[in-house]
Structure 1
Amino acid sequence: MEADMTMRDTDRQGEHGRESARGEEAVEMLLQAREKDLGGFSVRRLLPTAKRTMVGPWIFFDHMGPADFPPGQGITVRPHPHINLATVTYLFEGEILHRDSLGSVQPIVPGDINLMVAGRGIVHSERERPEVTGTAHRLHGLQLWLALPEADEEIEPAFHHYPSSDIPMCTVDGVPLRVMMGSAYGVISPVRTFADTLYVEARLKAGQCLTLPKTSERALYVVSGALRLGRRILPEHSMAVLYPAWSVVVEADTDARIALIGGESVGERFIDWNFVSSRKERIEQARADWRAGRYPLVPGDEEEFIPLPD
């Protein structure tokens, strides 16, 4: 997917001094999703915002759908570039066909994780196979971006696909969950990370409780349903940025699906359109390179591209 913001992460708050927090006191801020039209379908964007640019290494968070398409329609995200970041795509329903300038061609289906490492620069497109667009279908999922640590910003681009069967699952207090990246609840994900990174998905029945794992920065997104933190309700499509407390317990007010992200800060980042970097001049160079056509083409998808926005 593509972003459309230019922002600096200058308002980060320091570590919270408490060693434990339960209930509404654990919430540093509550972010509400903003609708973004990506041409043919819309997404709910949680990060970045004016109030909060990053949570740990995570700098971008889009909730796609659920979007229902009639036969003959679907997502058509034309080739576009990225630098100094890694995209993480995860679907609940539907399928996306990923192509990139490395020659990767990979359908993404529910439960899989696609990790595309842009490094010094990559181009990719996100479309759907004719077999999918030929019938009525639904798309629902999350796409996130990781800012790479400064030492890894200019590494060689790479693409990693992890099938659903490789993503570890466990049950905690009766709650089924998946540890998608990093480690939590005694489980370690095989998905590559570049800094201390956490990404967990869980589904709670109404009344179930879950103690969240500790990490230096974290945020909880309500994909569906509603959660309770003490007397505070976290509604559907909201993201609670949490203090780094030792103990935070959430309770499902209704049946709910949640995503927890977090990890260590990698420092200040600039973000402009699809470019993320610790150096503003690097983004200016990336813009100039895309404008001048100096990026590689995507094999099998060479005819179209997204122009550089003004």
Structure 2
Amino acid sequence: MTTETKNTEATTDRIRPLARIVASSRTIEGGGFEVYRPFPTPSLDLLDPFLLLDEMAPVNHEPGQAMGAPAHPHRGFETVTYVLQGEVEHQDSAGNHGLIGPGDVQWMTAGDGIIHSEMPSTRIQTEGGVGHGLQLWVNLPSTLRRTTPRYQGLPNDQLAAVAGEGWSAEVVAGSLFGVDGPAETFTPIVYARVTIQAGASLRIPVADGHTSAVYAFAGSAAVGQSGESLDAQHLAVFERSSGDLVISVPADAAGPFDSIVIAGEPIDQPIARYGPFVMNTKAEIEEAIDDFNAGRMGSITATGTT
């Protein structure tokens, strides 16, 4: 990965107002692993166009203990998995198969319907090791909910790396700090990992009227005009207005602030969801369930797909 060096200056004099800071809930997912989830929760249903954000908490697995998400269906949206530590093996009913390691990303469009699994690699399951990652669900507009499923495997060396004084970023999708992330998206989205060192500050440009948020998974920082504290496993949600996101890390911080920045154009359409399906109406959800039960989303076998 080639890292570009940038001197960032404010794209506007305005600082985007902070709307709220949300603490993650802790819940069990997949085969029984714990996640931190800032949304959806009773206090925050979604951040249009984003439907869900999970942090798979850092766990040092003993041999034979690592758990993942066995085969399950999706329809109507996209899943984005960002591995921070460990290895995840993906397989799906469209015939895609991939192994992603530290810093790698997979962007799967469920679209018309897909069965997939995300499991720790055979090595991690056999030998043990640390697992840590993030998963983001991205909504699709009604005209694209039934699009053909696709899989984008994005190795870390393909992400757009950029750095400045006291900070660095890996851009997965969208344009940020003059670089373009490699992921192809259906609507305007920015998705990036941003790391800021102690004593440094950063202004992050966001398009006017777009949803924007910063999720901290390590360290703490001051955000917004008032400098409210954003700690690990918390999400800072900003207003859909104008101005830059402002993040500052105290000089006496124990370590760097590590975060995920998400921003996107709201879709502003009705949403109906049930478990792994996200559509626009209840009738479409019922159709998705029927299609899955009838086997119309395919299946995964040990050696391929059927």
Please say whether Structure 1 and Structure 2 have the same fold, judged by a TM-score greater than 0.5: yes
1:301 CA drift (Å): 7.4
Q: Aligned residue for 1:261?
A: 262
User: Which residue is 1:236 aligned to?
Assistant: 232
1:49 is the counterpart of 2:46: no
2:126 is the counterpart of 1:134: yes
Q: Deviations over 1:153-212 (max 9, x none)?
A: 111111111111110100133311111111111111121111010111111111210102
Quote how far apart the aligned CAs of 1:131 are.
Answer: 2.0
Question: Bigger CA drift: 188-197 or 173-182?
Answer: 173-182
Structure 2 residue 228 is matched with structure 1 residue 227 = no
String of CA shifts for 1:114-148, please: whole Å, max 9, x gaps: 11111110000111232221112011010111111
Moved >4 Å (runs of 4+) = none
Give CA deviations for 1:278-310 in whole Å, capped at 9, x if unaligned. 22211111123333444311132799xxxxxxx
Q: CA deviation at 1:57?
A: 1.6
Aligned to 2:242: 245
**Matched residue pairs, number?**
283
TM-score computed with the length of structure 2 as normaliser? 0.87
The AA in structure 1 aligned to 2:24 is A
Q: 1 CA distance for matches of 2:60 and 2:89? A: 17
Report the TM-score when normalising by structure 1: 0.86
1:150 CA displacement = 1.7
1:279/1:206 CA distance change after superposition, 3 Å = same
- 1:112 pairs with 2:114: no
Alpha-carbon distance between aligned partners in 1 of 2:169 and 2:121, rounded to the nearest angstrom: 30
Whether the aligned pair in 1 keeps the contact of 2:14 and 2:242 (CA below 8 Å) is: yes
Residue aligning to 2:291: 289
Pair 1:190 & 2:188 matched: no
Match of 2:5 in 1: none
Deviation at 1:227, TM superposition (A): 0.9
CA distance in 2 between partners of 1:206 and 1:151 (Å):
45
Q: Per-residue CA shift, 1:78-132, capped at 9, x if unaligned?
A: 1110001111111110001101001211111112111111111000011123222
Residues of 1 paired with 2:55 and 2:303: CA distance? 25
Aligned residue among 217, 220, 238 for 2:211: 217
Which blocks of at least 5 consecutive residues in structure 2 are unaligned? 1-11
Comparing 266-275 and 82-91, the one that deviates more: 266-275
Q: Paired residue for 1:90?
A: 82
SS at match of 2:112: coil
Cα pair 1:40 1:74 within 8 Å, conserved? no
- Paired with 1:285 and 1:272, the residues of 2 have a C-alpha distance of 12
Partners in 2 of 1:46 and 1:198 — Cα distance?
18
Paired with 1:77 and 1:264, the residues of 2 have a C-alpha distance of 30
**Do 1:98 and 1:124's aligned partners in 2 also have CA atoms closer than 8 Å?**
yes
* Distance in 1 (alpha carbons) for counterparts of 2:201 and 2:132: 25
Cα RMSD between the aligned structures?
2.0
Amino acid at match of 1:228: A
Confirm or deny: 8 A CA contact 2:66 2:128 kept in the other structure.
Answer: no
Change (3 A) 1:295 1:247: closer
CA contact (8 A) 1:201 1:259 kept: yes
State how far apart, in whole Å, the 2-side matches of 1:190 and 1:130 are: 28
Identify the match of residue 152 of structure 2 among 147, 152, 160.
160
Write the distance in 2 (CA, Å) between the matches of 1:33 and 1:300: 35
